[in-house]
Amino acid sequence: MEWGTVLPDPADAVLTARNLACLRGERAVFAGLDVSLPQGSALLLTGANGAGKSTLLRILAGLLRPAEGAVLWQGEDIAADPAAHAHRLRYLSHQDALKPALTVAENLAFFAALWGGAVPGALEAVGLAALADLPARVLSSGQRRRLALARLALAPAPLWLLDEPTTGLDAASVERLRPLLAAHRAAGGIVVAATHIPLPLADAREFRL
């Protein structure tokens, strides 16, 4: 089976995938998949569990090699310089990847040391400023997810790859993402998100795997 083109190939595409295929054992998760995304675009990946949404995100992040095809950034294969690609993206997996013994602020400070950015402002963006000194182990599942999302509000990066970013979030917390996502796209950033629910992303394209 061939899955075909996710988006047409615009002349100004920044992120491009060509003829991607992924195998799970001898079964094709997807094949013949093309993706072309210009600056400021958003793509929602939908589909049942096991359809390949997370796998596609990992391939776009350079964390998993496709069985066939290649991922290009501004025409250059990301496999040629993995470190450069890692620097240009923020990949949020379905796991929050927090240290329970560290405080909310300390968890975020680890990423601020890598990327730059101000911890207080990032916590304010996700509504966690008042919890900065609490250990992460006492947070609810929704608060843990918001802390993981706060990494996006640190230093800018042109590509955001988000795996079920709203897991555990209530409607108000999902809505709080709207200005964060809008500002990223207004600055030319790209968002690719795997999701089961609608995200506050104006004019996002959807592709069902």
Q: Write the DSSP string, 166-208.
A: TTT--HHHHHHHHHHHHHHHHTT-EEEEE-SS--S-TT-EEEE
Strand partners, 207: 45
Q: Who has greater pLDDT, 8 or 169?
A: 169
Q: Tokens 């596609």 identify what position?
A: 56
Mean pLDDT of the chain: 92
Q: What is the pLDDT of residue 80?
A: 96
| Minimum mean pLDDT range among 35-44, 126-135, 155-164, 196-205 | 196-205
pLDDT band at 51 (very low <50, low <70, confident <90, very high): confident
Note the pTM of the prediction, 2 decimals: 0.92
pLDDT higher than threshold 70 for residue 97 = yes
pLDDT band at 8 (very low <50, low <70, confident <90, very high): low
Tell me the per-residue pLDDT of 102-150, one tens digit each, with 9 for 90 and over: 999 999 999 999 999 999 999 999 999 999 999 999 999 999 999 999 9
Could you give the domains of the chain?
A: 4-208 (3.40.50.300)
Q: In what order do the strands lie in the sheet with 76-77?
A: 4-5, 27-38, 13-24, 68-73, 76-77
Q: What is the pLDDT of residue 5?
A: 58
Pairing of strands 42-46, 190-194: parallel
pLDDT higher than threshold 50 for residue 2 = no
Q: What is the mean pLDDT of residues 3-10?
A: 58
Q: What is the mean pLDDT of residues 162-188?
A: 95
Q: What is the pLDDT of residue 3?
A: 52
Q: What is the pLDDT of residue 1?
A: 37
Q: What is the mean pLDDT of residues 10-30?
A: 86
Q: What is the pLDDT of residue 7?
A: 58
